[in-house]
Amino acid sequence: MATLAIGMCLPAIIDIIRGDDDWKAFAASAAGTFFIGISLILTCRGEDMRLTIRQAFLLTSLSWVVLTTFAALPFTFSKLELSYTDSFFEAMSGITTTGATVITGLDFAPPGILLWRAVLQWLGGIGIIVMAIAVLPMLRVGGMQLFRMESSDQSEKVLPRAAQIASSIGLIYVGLTLVWALMLWFAGMGKLEAVAHAMTTIATAGFSTADASIGHFDSAAIDWIITFGMIASALPFVLYLQAFRGQPLALLRDTQVRWFFSIVGAVIASLVIWQTFANGEPWYDALRYVSFNVVSVMTGTGYATADYDQWGTFALVMFFVVMFIGGCAGSTTCGIKIFRFQVLYAMAAAQMKTLLQPHGVFIPYYNRRPISETVGLSVLTFFFTFVFCFGVLAMGLGLAGLDFLTAVSGAATAIANVGPGLGPIIGPSGNFATLPDSAKWMLSAGMLIGRLEVLTVLILLTPAFWKE
């Protein structure tokens, strides 16, 4: 919370420099947040910080909720005069790197608010990477135990300790942000716009400084820079460490990375052909817009340069499907990580071989290593709970009065942390402002569940969790 309070000071300084009175909202919010944060630190000082599994699950979920609660304060106190429901929704969307927004008139919003949205998403991006390295493998959530740093195969250890890995990845994260900020500045963005979009690109988050998102700039150079930035952030950051430590081909050897590029390439190719022949768009324009928006949706970024709702039924279905497909484990992306599809494919292939040869022994492999029964069961459990939560959330949104397309795509975009949904209301040309408060609270819960890999939150709702 102390870090969050320090982060609030940055937009306050920007507002002071720009002569905007909105700095008072950030100053008051920072003071309150810092006081509570320091109080908690002093209260827990000297205590034994070793956590049980139950405490780790509870702390992980509560920390994101508490941070969101305080991160919403600047939105409530600002000139935007958002209700606390809208403020909480915006803050949750930011911290979970979802990118769904309830704010209209971003082009004229105070500069501090624009920067604060980017800061929230940037912090959420690095937060989820650290969680994927240090927390989720320990909790054995959804097959993430595959990526334990304490693996018996010592050759796979990049650095001796998870803390060292997290700090090294933090440096890479900051470095990528600076590089992309400079490139966007040279491509024609203003300084604040370049910094904000670099932060939200590397975090694969999707908050923009304009209502029209990246389409506002109408620049091919900016589109391609951000496209490659989203791709770079969808790859495992641990592999970047290996590349910097003398293994430059580590990214190419990883099967998860190869699967990611194969899926992205196949989807882009099919939609470029569709746009060229079915809709008559020039191939170079089709390649630019399709590549950007496909990568944006698949990585869970949520930027938009075109209203792909208007591309036809095939494109609409394709975008709905890729909403659920995420990037690689250990990246800032959301959705169902690529490795889980690989595990399911390997298990399905082994099962089909068993059907043909009942007495044969067929072992599924991931990255040339056998997949244990525990990992397979964890992945299957994740898929079931993911689909279950999607269905329950979609029905809840329908109960709140939303139409079919808005309810279904809203549930998908919340659980997968994508950002924009489909249709005229919450699609790439709309936002979530007109939804009822009940729907916004349900979507906020969906974003949290999706960001924390579903099971981390759902286990708190089971009676067994609270029994000693």
Task: Return d(Cα 101, Cα 115) in angstroms, integer.
Answer: 14
Task: Return d(Cα 54, Cα 68) in angstroms, integer.
Answer: 22
- The answer to whether residue 241 sits within a structural domain is no
- The answer to whether residue 414 sits within a structural domain is yes
- The answer to whether residue 132 sits within a structural domain is no
Confidence of residue 49 (pLDDT cuts 50, 70, 90): low
The answer to whether residue 318 scores a pLDDT higher than 90 is: yes
What pLDDT does 145 receive? 73
- The answer to whether residue 447 sits within a structural domain is yes
Average pLDDT, the chain: 88
- The answer to whether residue 403 sits within a structural domain is yes
pLDDT tens-digit series, residues 412-462? 999 999 989 998 999 888 899 999 999 999 999 999 999 998 988 998 888
The answer to whether residue 208 scores a pLDDT higher than 50 is: yes
- The answer to whether residue 399 sits within a structural domain is yes
The answer to whether residue 184 scores a pLDDT higher than 80 is: yes
- The answer to whether residue 198 sits within a structural domain is no
The answer to whether residue 40 scores a pLDDT higher than 80 is: no
Confidence of residue 48 (pLDDT cuts 50, 70, 90): low
More confident residue, 461 or 245: 461
pLDDT tens-digit series, residues 362-401? 888 888 888 888 888 989 999 999 999 999 999 999 999 9
Task: Return d(Cα 274, Cα 131) in angstroms, integer.
Answer: 39
The answer to whether residue 359 scores a pLDDT higher than 50 is: yes
For 401, the domain range is: 342-466
What pLDDT does 468 receive? 62
Mean pLDDT of 83-92: 95
The structure tokens listed for 85 are 């429901």
The answer to whether residue 98 scores a pLDDT higher than 80 is: yes
**370 sits in which H/E element:** strand 369-370
Q: Taking Cα atoms as reference points, which of 309, 304, 327 lies closest to residue 319?
A: 309
The answer to whether residue 64 scores a pLDDT higher than 50 is: yes
Long-range contacts of 388-395 (CB under 8 A, 24+ apart): 389/415, 389/446, 389/449, 389/450, 389/454, 389/458, 390/415, 393/442, 393/443, 393/445, 393/446
What pLDDT does 401 receive? 94
Mean pLDDT of 145-173: 62
Do residues 133 and 147 touch, judged by C-beta distance below 8 A? Answer: yes
Q: What is the percentage of the chain residues whose pLDDT exceeds 70?
A: 94
User: Beta strands of 73-206 (E only): which ranges?
Assistant: none
- The answer to whether residue 461 sits within a structural domain is yes
Do residues 428 and 306 touch, judged by C-beta distance below 8 A? Answer: yes
Mean pLDDT of 356-363: 86
More confident residue, 263 or 374: 263
More confident residue, 403 or 155: 403
The answer to whether residue 160 scores a pLDDT higher than 60 is: no
Q: What is the percentage of the chain residues whose pLDDT exceeds 90?
A: 57
Provide the domain count of the chain: 1
Poorest-pLDDT segment among 98-107, 142-151, 285-294: 142-151
Mean pLDDT of 226-241: 92
Task: Return d(Cα 172, Cα 166) in angstroms, integer.
Answer: 10
Confidence of residue 162 (pLDDT cuts 50, 70, 90): low
Farthest-apart Cα atoms in the chain, separation: 77
SS3 content of the chain, % helix, strand, coil (to 5): 70, 0, 30
Q: What string of DSSP letters covers 293-327?
A: HHHHHHTT----SS-GGGG-HHHHHHHHHHHHB--
Do residues 418 and 334 touch, judged by C-beta distance below 8 A? Answer: yes
What pLDDT does 46 receive? 59
The answer to whether residue 315 scores a pLDDT higher than 50 is: yes
Do residues 420 and 428 touch, judged by C-beta distance below 8 A? Answer: yes
What pLDDT does 273 receive? 96
